[in-house]
Amino acid sequence: MSYALAVVADAAERLPAAQALADKLQLPCLGCLDPVEVSESAYVLQRGERLQLCATGRKAPGPVCVDFVGGALAHRRRYGGGKGQQVAKAVGLRGGFYPRVVDATAGLGRDAFVLASLGCEVHMLERNPVVRALLRDGLERLQRASLEDTELAAIAMRLTLEEREVSAGEWLAEQAAESVPVVYLDPMFPERGKSARVKKEMAAFHQLVGGDEDADALLEPAFAACYYRTVVKRPRLAPFLADKKPTLSLEGKSGRFDIYTKHGVPG
């Protein structure tokens, strides 16, 4: 039998955790297997020291995981430009003003972590249960690392994940009008076949998760819920979300931030 996705463990002692995850996600558990040896499924969630989404087979690209402690995000936390980063400018962060942000399409949590590391409280929403499992695992490892690192401890306190299985549109519609300082949207944009800049492992991730085809429907409830602004991250040449022109845009080499303002942020 073949499956789109299954769960494996990297060692016998992690098999109970792998089985529990499989039960929660209603996926088959294939036991202790290396992803390169799996033939029943195109992708597996591997339960190891970290939870990883892996393509299977011997020529598969590398795994995808959420790492808030090391790797690229650790480098960006130390050397990424601080409050001068475009994402910080887009949400209105400045000295003495650190708005609470709801990242309604959190994905792998990279921008959410950057904003939390700069001082914002960030609540992440992610409707895809597999991606949410990766986020939860990343947060748990961040919290363990924070026990020995005061800087990480402060970030961990500011970064939370919505545990309910709820779509961003539903969650935003539940909020009182103008109750969220900043709503941040970074909907998954369908990849173009010519996009050489997308790493192979991320291309595999996009293939499994798919694009947010209902992204246009998020702008209205996001803007209703926000107090200061709604920020939409887009590829540089992508159309405006819901074809609605923003108040202003911050453009970079490959992407841009479209900003829909409501009330002005403190000067």
Q: Assign residue 258 a region (left: φ > 0; alpha: ψ between -120 and 50; beta: otherwise).
A: beta
Looking at the fold, whether 138 and 245 belong to one and the same domain comes out as yes
Looking at the fold, whether 141 and 9 belong to one and the same domain comes out as no
Share of the chain above pLDDT 70, in %: 92
Assess if residue 46 is contained within a domain: yes
Looking at the fold, whether 34 and 79 belong to one and the same domain comes out as no
Assess if residue 39 is contained within a domain: yes
User: Per-residue pLDDT tens for 106-153?
Assistant: 999 999 999 999 999 999 999 999 999 999 999 999 999 999 999 999
Looking at the fold, whether 175 and 131 belong to one and the same domain comes out as yes
Q: Confirm or deny that 111 is annotated as ligand binding.
A: yes
Looking at the fold, whether 181 and 81 belong to one and the same domain comes out as yes
Assess if residue 129 is contained within a domain: yes
- pTM score: 0.91
Assess if residue 63 is contained within a domain: no
pLDDT greater than 80 at residue 5:
yes
* pLDDT given at position 201: 65
* pLDDT given at position 52: 95
Assess if residue 267 is contained within a domain: no
Looking at the fold, whether 183 and 146 belong to one and the same domain comes out as yes
Assess if residue 100 is contained within a domain: yes
Indicate the pLDDT class of residue 193, thresholds 50, 70 and 90.
very low
Looking at the fold, whether 132 and 232 belong to one and the same domain comes out as yes
Strand 248-251, strand 226-235: pairing: unpaired
Looking at the fold, whether 20 and 107 belong to one and the same domain comes out as no
pLDDT greater than 70 at residue 200:
no
167 is in which domain, residue-wise? 71-261
Looking at the fold, whether 46 and 132 belong to one and the same domain comes out as no
Number of domains in the chain: 2
CA 192 to chain centre: 20
Looking at the fold, whether 19 and 112 belong to one and the same domain comes out as no
**Segment 2-6 mean pLDDT:** 85
User: Per-residue pLDDT tens for 25-73?
Assistant: 999 999 999 999 998 898 999 999 999 999 998 888 889 999 999 888 8
Assess if residue 266 is contained within a domain: no
Q: Confirm or deny that 126 is annotated as ligand binding.
A: yes
Looking at the fold, whether 80 and 9 belong to one and the same domain comes out as no
* pLDDT given at position 206: 76
Looking at the fold, whether 46 and 127 belong to one and the same domain comes out as no
Indicate the pLDDT class of residue 199, thresholds 50, 70 and 90.
low
